[in-house]
Amino acid sequence: MSDPATLATESVRERDFRLLWIGSGISQLCGMATVVAFPLLASQTLGASVGEVGLITAAGYLPWLILTLPAGVYSTRLPPRVVLLLADLSRAVIVTLVPVLSVTGHLALWHLYLSNVLVSCATVFYEIVYLSMPPRMLPKDKLVYGNIRLQIARAVSLAFGPTVAGFSVQVVGPESAPLLNSAGFVASATCNLLMRSHIRSARSATRASGLWAELSEAARFIARRPVILASIAGSAVGNCCFAAYEALVVIFLAHDVGITPGTLGMLLGSVGVGGLIGAFSAGKVSGWLGTARAVWLPAAVLAPTGLLLPLTQRGAGLLLFLCGALLFHAGFSIFTVGQATLVQLLTPLDLLQRTVACVRFVSRGMLFFGGLVGGGLGSLFGPRLGLTVVMLLWLTAPLITASSRLRLWRDIPTRDDPTLE
C-alpha cells in the first residue's frame, strides 16, 4: 500500500498535469489564429504568391532543424516549469508585434517569416519539455490516458481553433486576429504559475557532460531500438506531408474552391473533429487491438480517405472535404497517441528529454521541408493537384512505422525486453 505522503504527492502532480493540459490546450486553440491569419495577411494585404505563403509555413519549422538537438540538452539546465513559462511569455510578446507593425503601417512579408521563426524557437523548448512531463507527473498505469488528454487538447485546437480564427479574421481582420494567439500564451503561462509541483531539472539525474556527449548517449540508445527508429521515420514522413498540407490547404479552399474565411475555418476545424474522435477512441482501440497495433493499424486503414480532400468543390462538394478530414485525421490521432506512448514507455526517464529532442529533430525537422514541398507543388501544379500528391505520400507513414517488429506485437513490451535489441 502507498503511504499518505506518496499519495498526496501523486494527487498534486495529477492536478498540476491537468493545469498543464488546460493551459497548453488554450494556447493551441488560440494559436490557430495565426495559422489562418498569416497566409491571408500575406496574400491579401501584402500580395504574396502561393510560393511565398508556403515559405511562411517553412520558416516556422526551420528552428526544428537547427535548435532541437541543443534544446534537448540545454532545456535540462532549468526546472521544467521555468522553461515552459519563459517559452509562453516570449511567444506572447513576439506574436503581439505583428498587429502592432500592421497598425503602424510598417508590416512587411519578412516580419511574418521572422515572427514564425522566433515563435518556433520558443516552441521547440516548450514541446521538448512538455512531451517529457507525462511520465514525471503520472503513474505508469495512467500514462496512455495522459497522452490521450494531450492529443485531445491538440484535436480540440484543430477542431474549433480554425472556426474561431476564421470568424475572428472575418470580424477584426487578419491584421488584429493574431492577438488571440497572444492571449492563449498568456493563459498557458497563468496555468503554469498555478501549479504546485516541484519537478527538478533532468540534469540532476544525468552526468554533467558536454552537449555532444549527452546527445550521443541518446542517439546510441535510439540506434539500438529499431522500433523507435521506424517510428521516427513514419513520423518524419507524416510531418512532412502535414506541413505541405498546411502550406496548400488555406489557399486551395480560399482560391480554388472559393469559400469565405468563416466557412474555411469550419472546414479546417473538421480536421480537429476527426482528431478529437480519434483521441477519445484511442483508449478503447488500444484495449481492443493492443497498444502496439494501435500505433499503426487504424492510420493505415483510414489513410486512403484523405484522397477525398483534393476532390472538394463548392456546395455539396464540401462534404468530400468534411468526410475525408474526419476519417483521415481520426486514424492519425490514434497514431500520434501511440507514437508518444511508445517512446515514453521504452525510454528511461534520465534520457527522455534528450531522446524526445532526437525524435523531434528528425520528425519535426521534416516540417520545414514539408512547407517547402507544399509551396513548390502549389507553384508548379496548383494547390489542388499539389494537395493530391501530398495525400498520396501520406499513405506511407503508418506502413513505414509498421516495418519494424512493431507489426508483430500486440502490446508494447517493457524497456528491458530482449526483443527490443
pLDDT of residue 1: 45
Nearest to 306 by CA among 372, 380, 249: 249
Is the residue at 361 inside a domain?
yes
In terms of average pLDDT, the best of 35-49, 62-76, 139-153, 289-303 is: 289-303
Is the residue at 206 inside a domain?
no
Is the residue at 1 inside a domain?
no
Is the residue at 205 inside a domain?
no
Nearest to 56 by CA among 374, 371, 387, 376: 371
Is the residue at 330 inside a domain?
yes
What is the Cα–Cα distance from 179 to 348, expressed in whole angstroms? 40
Average pLDDT over residues 144-160: 78
Asked if 233 and 401 touch (Cβ cutoff 8 Å), the reply is yes
Which pTM was predicted?
0.69
Average pLDDT, the chain: 83
pLDDT of residue 209: 59
Q: What's the Cα-to-Cα distance from 65 to each of 52, 118, 245, 277, rounded to whole Å?
A: 20, 13, 19, 31
Is the residue at 46 inside a domain?
yes
Is the residue at 203 inside a domain?
no
Q: Which three cell numbers stand for residue 320?
A: 468530400
What CATH number did the domain enclosing 68 receive? 1.20.1250.20
Is the residue at 204 inside a domain?
no
How many folded domains does the chain comprise?
1
Calculate the CA 420 to chain-centre distance: 27
Secondary structure of 214-282 as H, E, C letters: HHHHHHHHHHCCHHHHHHHHHHHHHHHHHHHHHHHHHHHHHHHHCCCHHHHHHHHHHHHHHHHHHHHHH
Calculate the CA 363 to chain-centre distance: 10
Q: Which three cell numbers stand for residue 398?
A: 503508418
Backbone angles phi, psi at 156, to 5 degrees: -60, -40
DSSP 124-157: HHHHHHHHHSHHHHS-GGGHHHHHHHHHHHHHHH
The domain in which residue 232 lies consists of 9-198+211-420
pLDDT in tens, 292-351: 898 999 999 999 999 999 999 888 888 999 899 889 888 888 888 888 888 888 888 778
pLDDT in tens, 80-132: 889 999 999 999 999 999 989 988 888 888 889 899 999 999 999 998 888 88
Rounded percentage of the chain residues whose pLDDT exceeds 90: 23
Per-residue pLDDT band at 201 (split at 50, 70, 90): low
Higher pLDDT, 23 or 49: 23
pLDDT in tens, 363-390: 877 877 887 888 888 888 888 999 999 9
Rounded percentage of the chain residues whose pLDDT exceeds 70: 93
